A and B are shown apart, each in its own frame.
Chain A
Amino acid sequence: MVSLLDIIGPVMVGPSSSHTAGACRIGLLTRALCGDTPERALIELHGSFAKTGEGHGTDRALVGGLLGFEPDDGRLRDALALAEIAGMVVTFATVKLRDVHPNTARLTVERDGQKVVVVGSSLGGGRIAVCEIDGLPVDLSGEYPTLVIVAPDQPGTLAAITAELAADGVNVATVRVSRNRPGGVALHLYELDDPPEPQVVALLAELPAVRTVRLLERVS
């Protein structure tokens, strides 16, 4: 059901909820997956993002999101210059991706020798969907606090993780597991109703089957 504040809102930097606010959220979610401001970012624009992105400030909004600016942050307009000051090296390119929404970008970000590749789409009204992380298909809205867990693809991992969540009283809204190949690396996404306590994240990270755990806060 629609809320009054959905109609009289959101407060945002113009000019377009899909090209600016949505792009900023894709940047924010990518930043969260990276852990902090990336040292390097390759931003590849697809479809309408590539065609009309510059005039809509899509480039600045994506970079602003990577810098941690929210969609209502007036600094978005100056994000390209601010990225330079922050020491983030940004490269832009256009790309043709297959079977994705017209407003889509692929972001390859690096920090501390770690690389994350994110494909995200802006669906309109500022809503987004991340459809690929490191080449693995996902469907992530950013509307829920989300645990992103990387683990080897082996039996029992899902059970171990959900057992830990159950023991901590954490309710899971949606769960999705994908992998690069059988026995390879699996990516687990748990969308939660409420953000878990920090110790839950620490406990999950200590599970023998788990390689890395990252908590994505709600991108509102």
Chain B
Amino acid sequence: MFDSLAQALEAADERGVSLGTLALEKEAQRGTRTHAEVVAGLQRALHVMRDARTRGLTGDVRSVSGLVGGDARKVATSQHGPLRGTLFSEALSGALAVQEVNAAMGVIVAAPTAGAAGVLPGVLLALADRSGASEEALVRALAAAGLVGAVIAQRASLSGAEGGCQAETGSAAAMAAAAGVELLAGSTAQADAAVGLAMQGTLGLVCDPVGGFVEVPCVFRNATAASIALAGIEMGMAGVRIPIPTDEIIDAMAEIGRTMDIRYRETAGGGLAATPTGRRLARGRLGPVRGG
């Protein structure tokens, strides 16, 4: 799609359009799908995201191993936290909800991966609920997120096995930042800053799933990545600028991923997976399949 975010931002500015609009036009120009087909695909993604969030917030969701589930509802109904009743809290519960559904073998949209599927819907749908955004605006926001994901795929990686969790939830946070700015009708400069600020906040994050399963800490890490995306959006919209260009931040993520020890790349050999409790949980809880 684009080799760099700078190239995409320049193209958008030249045309006087947003990143999301540019992404939709570019995708149709590839020739494999018409504009209508791309929009229909993103509308379906939106629909699945909404369903997954609703299910995670209201249904009885338990992961296959039984280790995670039910926390989205706790956050959504809590009267105790300092963020209760805010958009921020809704983004956290939404991210947890979708990732809990993923861990429970429910239907989700990999965005960019299944293990990081909660971040984008968590942030985007919380913003949409507050702003009453139109379906078209949400589709454009998803397209902007997709463009950023495509640039990251091109320059770095979206796979935890290759680049650690920074490549999965980190990329998802950067994508959600672009989607958020698009939905808030921010400028391309604001989008650029939000993406860079979100991405820098997850640099170095390792992939250390207990027992190798997409459960602990993945479910919680989707929520913390959503908070980083919101921080990026808040700072970017306020005019905060990080002096390192976003493409170079993405390149730094690639460089860190390449040199990251194999223990921290989805192998369950280090980090939380290698803690005494992590090892015990992997042995005890994850043996037989529970539930049905």
**Which residue numbers of A lie inside 8 Å of B, CB to CB?**
1-17, 20-21, 48, 51-52, 54-57, 59-60, 72, 74, 76-78, 81, 124-126
What is the chain A residue whose CB lies nearest that of B44?
A11
**Which residue numbers of B lie inside 8 Å of A, CB to CB?**
1, 23-24, 27, 30, 32-33, 38, 41-42, 44-45, 48, 63-65, 101-115, 117, 120, 142-143, 145-147, 149-150, 153-154, 158-159, 161, 175, 211-215, 286, 288-289, 292
A55 proximity list for chain B (CB < 8 A): 64-65, 211-213, 215, 286, 289
User: Are the CB atoms of A74 and B30 closer together than 8 Å?
Assistant: no
A52 proximity list for chain B (CB < 8 A): 211-213, 286
User: Are the CB atoms of A8 and B106 closer together than 8 Å?
Assistant: no
What is the chain A residue whose CB lies nearest that of B103?
A15
A1 proximity list for chain B (CB < 8 A): 1, 30
Q: When A and B form their complex, which 7 residue pairs have the shortest distance between CB atoms, in order from nearest? A: A14-B102, A7-B149, A4-B146, A15-B214, A77-B105, A7-B146, A52-B212
Chain B CB count within 10 A is highest, among A8, A55, A60, A76, for A8
Given A14-B101, A20-B105, also A9-B111 (CB < 8 A): yes
CB distance from B222 to the nearest CB of A (A): 12
Q: Within the complex, which residue of A2, A8, A15, A57 is in contact with B145, where a contact is CB–CB below 8 Å? A: A8
User: Are the CB atoms of A5 and B42 closer together than 8 Å?
Assistant: yes
User: Are the CB atoms of A5 and B38 closer together than 8 Å?
Assistant: yes
What is the chain A residue whose CB lies nearest that of B65?
A55
User: Are the CB atoms of A14 and B1 closer together than 8 Å?
Assistant: no
A8-B153 Cα distance, complex, nearest whole Å: 12
Q: Within the complex, which residue of B45, B145, B288 is in contact with A11, where a contact is CB–CB below 8 Å? A: B45
User: Are the CB atoms of B111 and A8 closer together than 8 Å?
Assistant: yes
User: Are the CB atoms of B106 and A77 closer together than 8 Å?
Assistant: yes
Q: Within the complex, which residue of B103, B106, B110 is in contact with A74, where a contact is CB–CB below 8 Å? A: B106
A72-B286 Cα distance, complex, nearest whole Å: 24
What is the chain A residue whose CB lies nearest that of B142?
A8
Given A8-B145, A52-B211, list of 12 further CB < 8 A pairs?
A2-B153, A3-B1, A3-B30, A4-B42, A9-B111, A10-B109, A12-B109, A12-B110, A15-B103, A15-B104, A48-B212, A126-B110
Main secondary structure, interface of A, reads: mixed
Given A3-B27, A13-B105, also A8-B211 (CB < 8 A): no
User: Are the CB atoms of A76 and B105 closer together than 8 Å?
Assistant: yes
Given A10-B110, A56-B64, A78-B292, also A15-B105 (CB < 8 A): yes
A8 proximity list for chain B (CB < 8 A): 41-42, 45, 109, 111-112, 120, 142-143, 145-146, 149
User: Are the CB atoms of A14 and B112 closer together than 8 Å?
Assistant: no
CB distance from A54 to the nearest CB of B (A): 5
A126-B149 Cα distance, complex, nearest whole Å: 17
CB distance from B121 to the nearest CB of A (A): 10
User: Are the CB atoms of B150 and A7 closer together than 8 Å?
Assistant: yes
Q: Within the complex, which residue of A4, A13, A17, A76 is in contact with B113, where a contact is CB–CB below 8 Å? A: A17
A52-B143 Cα distance, complex, nearest whole Å: 34
B211 proximity list for chain A (CB < 8 A): 52, 55
B41 proximity list for chain A (CB < 8 A): 4-5, 8-9
User: Are the CB atoms of B112 and A7 closer together than 8 Å?
Assistant: yes
A5 proximity list for chain B (CB < 8 A): 27, 33, 38, 41-42, 45, 146
B120 proximity list for chain A (CB < 8 A): 8
CB distance from B148 to the nearest CB of A (A): 8
CB distance from A29 to the nearest CB of B (A): 20
User: Are the CB atoms of A17 and B114 closer together than 8 Å?
Assistant: yes
What is the chain A residue whose CB lies nearest that of B68?
A15
CB distance from A13 to the nearest CB of B (A): 5
Given A4-B38, A4-B143, also A11-B48 (CB < 8 A): yes
Chain B CB count within 10 A is highest, among A2, A6, A21, A72, for A2
CB distance from A143 to the nearest CB of B (A): 13
CB distance from B188 to the nearest CB of A (A): 18
User: Are the CB atoms of B30 and A57 closer together than 8 Å?
Assistant: no
A74 proximity list for chain B (CB < 8 A): 106-107
What is the chain A residue whose CB lies nearest that of B24?
A4
User: Are the CB atoms of A14 and B214 closer together than 8 Å?
Assistant: yes
CB distance from A201 to the nearest CB of B (A): 26
Q: Within the complex, which residue of A9, A14, A16, A125 is in contact with B106, where a contact is CB–CB below 8 Å? A: A14
Q: Within the complex, which residue of B33, B105, B159 is in contact with A14, where a contact is CB–CB below 8 Å? A: B105
B64 proximity list for chain A (CB < 8 A): 15, 54-57
Given A74-B107, A125-B159, also A15-B113 (CB < 8 A): no
